[in-house]
Amino acid sequence: MNLIRIVLFIGVLNIVVSAQYNQLEQNKCIIPRILQGSWFSWETGKPTQTVIDATKMSKRGICVTMSHHGDEYSFVFKERSGDCYHCVRTIIRTLNVFEKVEGPCVSIPQGTEPSVENVCKGIKDDRQLVTLFNENFVPINCRSSLEGVWHFTYQNRFRFTGVCNKPDARIQSCQTAGTQFLIQNQKFNVTYQQCEGMEGTFTGIVEYSCLGDWFVGKNHYFAVANTKESRKDEKYRCFLKNRDDDLYIGVSITAECNTLKTPENSPERLKLTPVKAEYVEPGCTLPQNFSGEWVNTANIDADVSISETHINETYYPDRARYRRTIYVCRERRDNRIMMARLTVDGCQKDYVCFDFQPRHHNIIRYRKGLAVIKDDFSTVCSWVQFKNAESWKYDLFLAKNPVPVRCPVAGKFNFTQRGEHPFRTRILGGVTLSPRPNIHCKQNISDLSVCDTDQKEMAVDENYCLSVDHLGRPVDIYSKSKIIFKFLY
Ligand X SMILES: *[C@@H]1O[C@H](CO)[C@@H](O)[C@H](O)[C@H]1NC(C)=O
Q: Tell me which residues touch ligand X (CB under 6 A).
A: 172, 187-189, 205, 207, 287, 289, 305, 307, 310, 312, 326, 358-361, 414, 416, 435-436, 441, 443-445, 463, 465
Least separation in angstroms between CB 185 and ligand X: 7
Residue type, 120: C
Least separation in angstroms between CB 247 and ligand X: 21
**What is each CA distance from 17 to 8, 12, 13, 63, 151, in whole angstroms?**
14, 9, 6, 22, 55
* Secondary structure class of 37 (helix, strand, coil): strand
* Count of CB atoms situated within 10 Å of the CB of 51: 13
Question: Residue 112 or 443: which CB sits closer to ligand X?
Answer: 443
Question: Residue 62 or 488: which CB sits closer to ligand X?
Answer: 488
* 255: DSSP letter: S
* Rounded Cα–Cα distance for residues 399 and 361 (Å): 9
Least separation in angstroms between CB 117 and ligand X: 48
Question: Residue 202 or 215: which CB sits closer to ligand X?
Answer: 202
* Rounded Cα–Cα distance for residues 46 and 49 (Å): 10
Sequence-distant (≥ 6) Cβ neighbours of residue 329 within 8 angstroms: 282, 283, 284, 285, 286, 309, 310, 337, 339
Question: Residue 18 or 417: which CB sits closer to ligand X?
Answer: 417
Q: Which residues pair with 413 in a beta bridge?
A: 448
* Rounded Cα–Cα distance for residues 463 and 417 (Å): 12
Least separation in angstroms between CB 328 and ligand X: 8
Question: Residue 112 or 432: which CB sits closer to ligand X?
Answer: 432
* Secondary structure class of 399 (helix, strand, coil): strand
* Secondary structure class of 32 (helix, strand, coil): coil
* Rounded Cα–Cα distance for residues 380 and 329 (Å): 13
Cβ contact 76:85 at 8 Å: yes
Least separation in angstroms between CB 465 and ligand X: 6
> DSSP readout, 364-378?
EEEEE---BSS--HH
The b/e string for 291-308 (b: 16+ C-beta within 10 A; e otherwise) is eeebbbeebeebbbbbee
Least separation in angstroms between CB 119 and ligand X: 45
Judged on CB neighbours under 10 Å (0-12, 13-18, 19+), 455 is middle
Helix (H) or strand (E) holding 215: strand 204-216
Residue 487: closest CA among 448, 430, 436, 461:
448
Question: Residue 389 or 409: which CB sits closer to ligand X?
Answer: 409
Distance of CA 276 to the CA centre of its chain: 25
Question: Residue 36 or 309: which CB sits closer to ligand X?
Answer: 309
* Secondary structure class of 224 (helix, strand, coil): strand
Least separation in angstroms between CB 463 and ligand X: 6
Question: Residue 94 or 209: which CB sits closer to ligand X?
Answer: 209
* Count of CB atoms situated within 10 Å of the CB of 277: 19
Question: Residue 89 or 143: which CB sits closer to ligand X?
Answer: 143
Question: Residue 39 or 236: which CB sits closer to ligand X?
Answer: 236
Least separation in angstroms between CB 252 and ligand X: 21
Least separation in angstroms between CB 24 and ligand X: 43
Question: Residue 441 or 488: which CB sits closer to ligand X?
Answer: 441
Least separation in angstroms between CB 442 and ligand X: 6
Least separation in angstroms between CB 167 and ligand X: 18
